[in-house]
Structure 1
Amino acid sequence: MPADDIQAAIEQFATELAELRMLSGKPSFARIQNLSKKRHQEDGTTTKAISLPSTTASDAIRGKRLPSIATVLAFVDACHRAAVDDGLIIDEDHFALARWQQRWTAVRDLRDRDFSPPEQTLVEWDDLAEDEQLAAPDSIPPSTNNYRDAASSPDPSPPPRPSTSAQARIERAAERYADQFDYIRREPRRDRRRHEYDLLDKLQEVVSLATEYEQYEERGRRRLRNRLTFADIYFEADSVTRVNFVSATQPFTVVPVEYFAALIAAEIEYHGTGRLSDTEYVLLADVYERIGGWMLELGLFIHAVFVYKRAAVIHYRNEDLVAQERCELAGARARRRAMVPSFKSISMQATDLLCGYGYLPFRMLGWMLAQLVVFTVIFQFLTYQPLAITAVDTFTNYFSPLSPADTQNFQAAARPLFLVESAIGSLMTLSFAVLLARRFLRLGR
């Protein structure tokens, strides 16, 4: 098909998006960005999401190129919410996400029907260093499962074209990273840790090269303060689940390259030579936390530990100690899930249930109350006292051991149990006091 006809179809699609914006009261692109921060789930609930950048929303109706399906869905949903908030009378069919997904797919298929990929002129970061940084280890054969080539993908990227942008290199590196994940996820659990550590080493090598060769902070977009450089990449990754739902695609039937692109982009942004503002650090920490959740979904627990640790460092830098502890707790839980079943993993899980690895000391109060109830029931059958007196004795003994004179009228079988209860109570009380003091000292420093 002639290129002019393809461009005309893309421009027509952009015109339809612009008309939809007019029907919804012509909300500003800044408002569209704010409205896209909340996303409606299939169960009717609303969750916080990475917002659609205002510049990306503006580009969607310009018609220069076909926007991604994630951009289209977020744009349509934001326009719908703007119309509803303003009390406008609208036709719900015009805002049906499934309809727009089908319309986008038709334009994409038209664009890609007679496409022949041009000769690749993109120079890789690792080629510049004359070393293949993301090459598979000797034990990992190359995979043939490429997300970008999967026919079932609801949102394939535009065909590759010559580019020198950092974003294009990130996407290429993410594809190669995803190839290795496709092999790792089929490995036995005991072998995944080693392969994950190898991948993280390669990741740091790529990030080091990227920050050396890509002066992305000099790009015009980098001058937009309080906005992350690779906001588009993070938005696309955050929209994977939504796109799968609208497209009725089973999650993770193909490797979600967007997740790995977000990881690489966040690392480049974190290590980049450009100085981030306080707001940008907050945004980056939120991105890292989301990446940690995505890594957990993929079963990459060592990656999740790494990402949550990075988020905790940024929160510490921002003096947000509550968020720092939240990330440290998530990292500790991910580390436990990465372990093979053993006595150590069981003990770590028990510690998590007891006090959340020390980050949730008030959870111990529930366990202490449960112990008091259990001991009260046991002593009620052994002492034959009124329930109120038994409850008082049990409570007193738990925190302050009863003297021999107080237990001389009890049955012989009850006295050792009172000693056991007293020991458990003293240990639990001391542990709670230590963890509570530790938490208050951390939050108050």
Structure 2
Amino acid sequence: MYDGHDRPGEFVASKTTLIRRHADAYADEIDEFQRGHSSRDEYQLLDDLNHRVEQFLADYVPPSTRRVGDSLVFAPLYRDADPDLPANAGRQFSSETVLTALFAAEVEFRGPLSLSRTQSTLLAEVYEELGELLSAHGLPAHAALAYRQAYRLHTITENPRGQDRCGLHMARARTRARTPRWRRLPGVASDLLCGYGYRPFLLLAWIAAEIAVFVVVFYVASSGIGFETALRVCLVNFLDPADTDEFGPLGALARYTLIVESYAGIVSTSVFFALLVRQLFRL
């Protein structure tokens, strides 16, 4: 992954130095933000990062429009922030190191040199690793950016598993970035219910829990109906609303339990099959 530029040329070396300078200055802003000494939020800081990248790209004119081999241009910077390398085992990565790699990845992804399929795959892996590291540094909005770029690269390389993985991580990072904390509740609920739509089979467990609750309530509210009958009625009613008249006189609570269950069944199964179709057919 990194062999192609272990000894970068003069142009790459000079741009690498410039990237480090930009990233170091940006890391100082991040440090002020995390210490609570900045009036800007994380998304405003991301705007500044984008502005810095655009400034860099304005003067980023490679000597050739063609790449040599399938390695990445700023591989040494990614290597410094790669937790999977034996040389980095157990190492605590500084925010400067991680942000330098993120800045370099943005330049490489958005720069004038086109990416081959192999390079897109490698850069997607870099972004995913950076997303995890940025999350660990308490920068969820930055992590969401990294996962979004990885998602785009997986789309280019037609990797649906990578898309789902990065989409899920991106959604979770965006939820963690929301302030105040109460605004995270819908996202947390979506994650628990179906993994933001990327894990539809989680809904089956919730559907089973729903049915169990309705069975218990219906059994308790219905006098003279055994538990086996209550179980059968609720299992059928969840998918096909039952005629309550066949059970004789029922109390108001029992009737409303069946009505609510039938609506819950329609909503739950509709959402499940919609997410399942999306997952299977990539709609």
Q: Is the TM value for this pair above 0.5?
A: yes
Q: Distance in 2 between matches of 1:391 and 1:269?
A: 59
Q: Distance in 2 between matches of 1:261 and 1:337?
A: 23
Distance 1:164 1:370, change over 3 A: closer
Computed over aligned residues only, the root mean square deviation of the Cα atoms, in angstroms, reads 2.9
Q: Which runs of 5+ in 2 are unaligned?
A: none
8 Å contact kept, 1:233–1:265: yes
2:57 is matched by which residue type in structure 1?
T
- Structure 2 residue 228 is the aligned partner of structure 1 residue 388: yes
Which is richer in helix? 2
Q: 1:199 aligns with which of 45, 69, 84?
A: 45
Residue of structure 1 in register with 2:259 after alignment: 419
1:270 is matched by which residue type in structure 2?
F
Distance 1:323 1:428, change over 3 A: same
Distance 1:417 1:195, change over 3 A: closer
Post-superposition offset of 1:411: 4.1
Residue of structure 2 in register with 1:429 after alignment: 269
Distance 1:318 1:246, change over 3 A: closer
- Structure 2 residue 218 is the aligned partner of structure 1 residue 361: no
Distance 1:278 1:219, change over 3 A: closer
Q: Distance in 2 between matches of 1:243 and 1:370?
A: 48
Residue of structure 2 in register with 1:294 after alignment: 133
Distance 1:407 1:216, change over 3 A: farther
Q: Distance in 2 between matches of 1:209 and 1:168?
A: 15
Residue of structure 2 in register with 1:309 after alignment: 148
Distance 1:268 1:55, change over 3 A: closer
Q: Distance in 1 between matches of 2:13 and 2:101?
A: 19
- Normalised to the residue count of structure 1, the TM-score between the two structures is 0.56
Post-superposition offset of 1:204: 2.5
Post-superposition offset of 1:428: 0.9
Distance 1:183 1:244, change over 3 A: farther
Residue of structure 2 in register with 1:211 after alignment: 57
Q: Distance in 2 between matches of 1:166 and 1:355?
A: 44
Residues 239-254 of structure 1 aligned to structure 2 (within 5 Å): 239=83, 246=90, 251=92
SS of corresponding position for 2:243: coil
Deviations along 1:331-356, one digit per CA (max 9) or x if unpaired, are: 22111111124554212221221122
Q: Distance in 2 between matches of 1:408 and 1:187?
A: 66
Distance 1:287 1:360, change over 3 A: same
- Normalised to the residue count of structure 2, the TM-score between the two structures is 0.85
The count of aligned residue pairs is 278
Q: Distance in 2 between matches of 1:360 and 1:329?
A: 9
Residues 118-157 of structure 1 aligned to structure 2 (within 5 Å): none
1:237 is matched by which residue type in structure 2?
A
Q: 2:73 aligns with which of 229, 241, 246?
A: 229
Q: Distance in 2 between matches of 1:285 and 1:227?
A: 13
1:401 is matched by which residue type in structure 2?
P
Q: Which runs of 5+ in 1 are unaligned?
A: 1-50, 60-162
Larger radius of gyration: 1
8 Å contact kept, 1:240–1:256: no
Among the aligned pairs, what percent are the same residue? 35
